[in-house]
Structure 1
């Protein structure tokens, strides 16, 4: 067993977990994560302005933690934030005005709230939505033809396509889509100078959340007075034990669906195309055998890992891989590391459109498995099924750029040159 004293000597490699700039540099990030998996899979990280935590980098350990949602809970610290932001959110939650999405909740409340939107992401609902998704996929491939032969695939295509899908599902008017896009970028881009609001301070983040809440408060009032049969109406009128959800739970539900529901898919789509461009043998293989598309989509999701981490807090003294972890201490679940774990994936740094099995953890695991996973898969399948048969050639037209982030992110610019029919 590793002694507590030894375990708490923070390694330099472990600091990448709390360094937003590391996620914009794949070589640096994966070099450190590979070292951690081999040498210090449970690592103590003390890196202000964040409170200390244990970094968990092995696939099996992350699955074990996510399975036991009584020992490891989300509520106190569901994701890594600066201490100042954690304190501000906690104060707001205690006052009944703070963001409290599904990722902040634990059972039984998490289970009850999740049920309200679950039917909208089940297989029947996905089949009903597929016509709209296919229409939007064709619209955006046609858009590539219109603006070609060059574009920034992220800003011109990958951002807008899943945004239109998720906001159509919610039933929001198209004239509001740009506003939702800007707020989402500001919320997830707090560590990135290009996307953050103001200086990216805690006050700036709180202002973004307030803007979200103002918009969705008006939407809730409208949908309660006049339900319209969309997901927004289901959320506005959702009940638990016969009572409407609290205002904050309702508003938080909108925020997580409207923001995470498109931003993560944008990252998987752009990361997937980037991988195909940089692995032309795999692009040719997929074009030659489109029946591989389901496996290819899973590989794109593994490769890009849009959600970098969630956190859990121990409800009792325990240990992970022989390292003692005290009650009240938090662990950081590194999905990026788990998705390159050599013990789980053959040649994990090889992009393989036919990879099977593919036990990636990009959607999480256990009770918090991503509610919108089926929708994300369908959107990606529809877009690449429309794009690849029409694609004559494609190459990079500049250097890809990644977001600085520690939570959700991926490519923020993917300049490409292409020929499309």
Structure 2
């Protein structure tokens, strides 16, 4: 547990697994509606109570239900061929034998998947990838504009919201079977969602999909290239799912979630006062040695693996099925088509306290 001076804009840090699970599960004692990221520390999130990510039950449950059904395994199964085509195309340059920026390719992959699900024009995808990453890594020179981090964040938010306002307006005139059309028909408390609520949830869905799914593959390859583990994994396709889950635990792409105490709460013999900010560090909880044996080893056979990379409780990631299917297809194609993975130059980490990952990871490999 961290220490917060009284009267400051500090926060309590929760690093252990059991305490992390308690905070994330107990939405009555720890609310999401004042903001879930440290970028909002000291001020309330204007999307609180409107955007699913910053809405507590029961409204969160009503918002989540239709989206959860739309992103179910049955629905996503129908997208497998699309996802496989996207994956094989993303990996194709690896066959040339020269250095291949694996992290850059992975950054574009989830955008293609969610782009299909949201029916967003393909020509917009590169811009959307850049804007979503600017939202979570405004300090990173790769995404920062000349006026600095705060201006980068404000500009990226403004452009994304303006983009979705235009998309929603067009989609109203010609709805389809996509996620945005679903948001247009959803109801909350007996009313349709307002335009602002629809745009806010479009932003949240896109952000959640694009900036997290890219990181487990890059983290796995960075850790395992040049070792026998990737060939061992390729030789045992029955370990596909357990290896994917380990990549999620290992990378823990979303590094933190913030909550605010709604009442005085005792946690690990520390009294957290009502109104205090509490930050759960998922990467730390997923390396808690009391839960995960030898936590600093990437173990493709790890079982059980009760990681919380997707969160836990009411706010468990609504897109977890899409992410898992995408990652299973990605690793199956990667390991089935290529071998001899080698790091081909210095990697570059993403500069962010929200997302743990890479912007660049040059590698080489051989076609099987």
Q: Could you state the TM-score of these two structures normalised by the residue count of structure 1?
A: 0.83
Shift of 1:58: 0.4
Q: Which residue of 2 aligns with 1:64?
A: 22
> Does the 8 Å contact 2:129/2:210 carry over to 1?
no
- Any conservation in 1 of the 2:265–2:272 contact (CA below 8 Å)? yes
**Does residue 2 of structure 2 align to residue 43 of structure 1?**
yes
**Cross-structure match for 1:288:** 235
Aligned residue pairs, count:
366
The corresponding residue for 2:113 is: 165
Query: Residue 363 of structure 1: CA displacement?
Result: 0.4
1:377 aligns with 2:317: no
The alpha-carbon deviation at position 82 of structure 1 amounts to 5.8
Match of 2:13 among 32, 46, 55: 55
CA distance in 2, matches of 1:261, 1:336: 18
Q: Say whether residues 1:78 and 2:36 are aligned partners.
A: yes
Per the alignment, residue 326 of structure 1 pairs with: 273
Judge conservation of contact 1:59–1:339 (CA < 8 Å) in 2.
yes
Aligned to 2:154: 206
The partner residue of 2:57 within 107, 121, 134 is 107
Residues 349-382 of structure 1 deviation map (CA, whole Å, 9 limit, x = unaligned): 0110111111111000000000111111111110
Matches of 1:162 and 1:192 in 2, distance apart? 20
- Post-superposition Cα deviations, 1:36-55, rounded to whole Å, max 9, x if no partner, equal xxxxxx11156xxx920000
CA distance in 2, matches of 1:69, 1:43: 21
Secondary structure in 1 matching 2:144: coil
The match for 2:72 is 122
Q: Give the Å deviation of 1:383.
A: 1.1
Retained in 1: the 8 A contact 2:139–2:149?
no
Structure 1 unmatched runs, 5+: 1-41
The answer for the alignment partner of 1:277 in structure 2 is 225
More helix by share: 1
Give CA-to-partner distance per residue, 1:193-221, whole Å, 9 cap, x none: 22223344434322211111111111111
- Paired residues for 1:18-417 under 5 Å: 42-44=1-3, 51-81=9-39, 83=41, 87=43, 90=45, 93=46, 101-146=51-96, 148-155=97-104, 157-277=105-225, 280-417=227-364
Question: How far apart are residue 100 of structure 1 and its match?
Answer: 5.1
Shift of 1:265: 0.4
Stretches of structure 2 lacking an aligned partner (at least 5 in a row) = none
Report deviation, 1:264: 0.2
1:284, CA displacement in angstroms? 2.1
Distance 1:417 1:135 in 2: 21
- TM-score by length of structure 2 reads 0.94
Distance 1:201 1:415, change over 3 A: closer
Identify if the C-alpha distance between structure 1 residues 149 and 413 changes in structure 2 by more than 3 Å, giving closer, same or farther. Answer: same
Q: Deviations over 1:260-319 (max 9, x none)?
A: 2121001112112222215x2321210111110100000011111100000111111111
1:67 Cα offset (Å): 2.0
What is the alpha-carbon distance in structure 2 between the residues aligned to residue 218 and residue 305 of structure 1? 33
Aligned-pair RMSD on alpha carbons?
1.9
Q: Structure 1: which 4+ aligned runs deviate by more than 4 Å?
A: 97-100
